[in-house]
Chain A
Amino acid sequence: MSTPPLTGPAVEVDGLCYSYGPYQAVKDVSLRAGRGKVFALLGTNGAGKTTSLELIQGYRRPDEGHIRVLGLDPFRDRRALRRRTGFMLQEAGFLTEMTVREMTRLWSSISGRIDDVESALERVDLSHRAEVRLDKLSGGEKRRLDIALAVWGSPELVVLDEPTTGLDPESRRGLWSLVEELRSNGSTIILTTHYLEEAETLADDLAIMHQGRVAVAGTKREVLASYPASITARVPDEVVHRLPAVSGNRTLKRLPESSGHLLRIETSALQADLTLLLNWAEHQQVTLTDLHAQAATLENLFHAIRVEDERLSLDRRRNADVESRVKKDVTAP
């Protein structure tokens, strides 16, 4: 095992592919998670997030591609990495015959990282449940214990697979604070979540996966910039033909049952186009009712990726149908 470099990304993934039998779950995935940052891996159910994380954890050997975690090969150097990484899995069981305190004590013996049982339980507000058997804990309490074990000893890399699923709002906020604290102490956090506002709040960098591929990746700003902002307003009929030329994509829709048109501008230059529109309205002495300007959100982007993918797969199906019909015509006597 070579000495791991202390610089460079915490996680580096290149051209990763993995299949479960004939089903290809991860297709040519490349990612970088910088040290001391929060990296959010987003995607729909079945997008390949958990498989990618399991490959990063060294649970599975990739069919193709390379992974370096803290400078090491996670499959080959699994043991060395366990001391430096904490994992919160989407689904994992507890030794239910044990109490909360016994489980954390066991963790203290086998995790390879040092922490204090009492402060670890206090961190997730489980001190008062320390003597309770694990099968008597609620779902949310089990999730909190999950978190305590994942961040045990503040490892260099913490992987959290849907950590806030099943948590009440206050516990979610608590986890967010914990993630921010870990980051400020220099840990790298990889996070998957279905809550997009969570990713927007916590992540420095992110990637959105869809159907086994990375659809978009980069810093939060870069990713959001890849999707246009929008401006909508109601424009009176008499000035519709005098609307200014904006840099974004402009659509106009006549509003039924009322006067006026609905103007929609999708733009990557939100401030410039909004200023242009407002100046024009002032000059024309027009009131733009229902004016609404919104920067791109992860939700917009997420939705757009799904819609685009569905359109592409529909096209592929149509093309396949056409091809098979052509073949039939050619082979027909």
Chain B
Amino acid sequence: MTRNTTRTTTPNRPRVDLRGRYSLMPALTFAELRMLGRRKVVLAVALFLPMMLVGLSYLGQRPETMEQWGATLGVYFMYALMMTPYMSTATQLSSRRDTLVYKRLRTTELDGAELIAASLLAVAALGLVQMLLMLAVFLVAGAPAPDNLPLVLLGVFLGLLLAPILGTFIVSVTRNHERVMFTMMPLLILAVIGARLLDYPVEIIAWLAILVPLVPAADLIAKGWGGAGAGLQTLPVPVSPAVADIVLLVGWTTLAIFVTTRTWRWEPRS
């Protein structure tokens, strides 16, 4: 900052940007995407996870029937949801909060919800790319075509919506970035176990499993891919399991947003 450079550059009167508020959030989302592209670990997980899961499915017992393929793909898609949209959101948001990036961004015209949404959209976009990649890899590896593609897409969409919101919720109840590695683990473990228990012979266990957030997404994908015979078969209420999945996913999303808006802090707790 030298004297000769400071002399002539400030304009005579304030110039206000008239482009409108709808251009603000996309600008931040694209910036977030560019930054995600520079994080090698996040990219590596997002891109190599699908290949790794295909490899795993060959190492274990290879699915043979449509139902088995559906159940396997449901579980693997849910793993991907946990690894990228959920975990990346939690680590990214907590890191941004700890380094006071949000404090700076809040001096812009963007409001708080838009700031968070911009980050979540970028992570969800990466998650979507990962899902499409997984879809392609599994089809190439011999998976049958999905029985009900709209149901698969609905499961993916609702999962991609809920996973980043759950990541945000975890940050909202976590003191700082260091602790988020621990606080995101219980949900991760429960979801991984829950998705495996959907076709467990003891009904009550399967019913409890479907209540775990994101497990209904795995069930929807399983049913969409492998037909109605895949995933959870019965419920203690007179509702079809697919409808219950949708209701549960929407319910968890609403609840997570409700709680997060009340517990969110823009700065780390000391």
Within 8 Å CB of A94, what residues of B? 101, 104
B5 interface neighbour in A102, A125, A150, A175, Cβ under 8 Å: A125
B143 at the interface (CB under 8 A from A): no
Within 8 Å CB of A98, what residues of B? 31, 34-35
Whether B35 lies near A154 (C-beta < 8 A) is no
Q: Compute how far the CA of A170 lies from the CA of B38 in the bound complex, rounded to whole angstroms.
A: 35
Binds A, one of B65-73, B106-114, B187-195, B221-229: B106-114
Whether B104 lies near A124 (C-beta < 8 A) is no
Given A89-B107, A102-B31, A109 contacting B23 (CB threshold 8 A): yes
B10 at the interface (CB under 8 A from A): yes
Q: Compute how far the CA of A173 lies from the CA of B9 in the bound complex, rounded to whole angstroms.
A: 16
The chain A residue with its CB closest to the CB of B97 is A93
A332 at the interface (CB under 8 A from B): no
Within 8 Å CB of B103, what residues of A? 89, 91-93
Binds B, one of A110-118, A234-242, A243-251, A307-315: A110-118
Whether A177 lies near B7 (C-beta < 8 A) is yes
B13 at the interface (CB under 8 A from A): yes
The chain B residue with its CB closest to the CB of A92 is B104
B142 at the interface (CB under 8 A from A): no
Q: Compute how far the CA of A310 lies from the CA of B134 in the bound complex, rounded to whole angstroms.
A: 68
Minimum distance in angstroms from A258 CB to a CB of chain B: 48
Given A59-B106, A89-B103, A93-B104, A173 contacting B3 (CB threshold 8 A): yes
Within 8 Å CB of B16, what residues of A? 83-84, 112-114, 153
Whether B5 lies near A93 (C-beta < 8 A) is no
Within 8 Å CB of A154, what residues of B? 10-15
Whether A92 lies near B100 (C-beta < 8 A) is yes
Q: Compute how far the CA of A78 lies from the CA of B14 in the bound complex, rounded to whole angstroms.
A: 18
Given A95-B101, A109-B27, A178-B1, A83 contacting B107 (CB threshold 8 A): no
Within 8 Å CB of B10, what residues of A? 123, 151, 154, 178, 181-182, 185
Minimum distance in angstroms from B64 CB to a CB of chain A: 45
Within 8 Å CB of A75, what residues of B? none
A132 at the interface (CB under 8 A from B): no
Q: Compute how far the CA of A149 lies from the CA of B108 in the bound complex, rounded to whole angstroms.
A: 10
Within 8 A of A (CB), among B19-39: 21, 23-24, 27-28, 31, 34-35, 38-39
B96 at the interface (CB under 8 A from A): yes
Within 8 A of B (CB), among A191-230: none
Given A98-B35, A110-B110, A181-B7, A156 contacting B14 (CB threshold 8 A): yes
Within 8 Å CB of A89, what residues of B? 100, 103-104, 107
- 10 example contacts (A-B, Cβ-Cβ < 8 A) are as follows A83-B17, A98-B31, A147-B1, A153-B11, A154-B13, A174-B1, A178-B1, A181-B7, A182-B10, A186-B13
A residues with CB within 8 A of B: 57, 59, 78-79, 82-84, 86-87, 89, 91-98, 102, 106-107, 109-115, 119-120, 122-125, 144, 147, 149-151, 153-156, 167, 170-171, 173-175, 177-178, 181-182, 185-187
Known: A109-B24, A124-B1. 5 other contacts (CB 8 A): A97-B35, A107-B108, A115-B11, A123-B6, A125-B1
The 3 closest A-B pairs by CB, nearest first: A174-B1, A112-B109, A109-B27
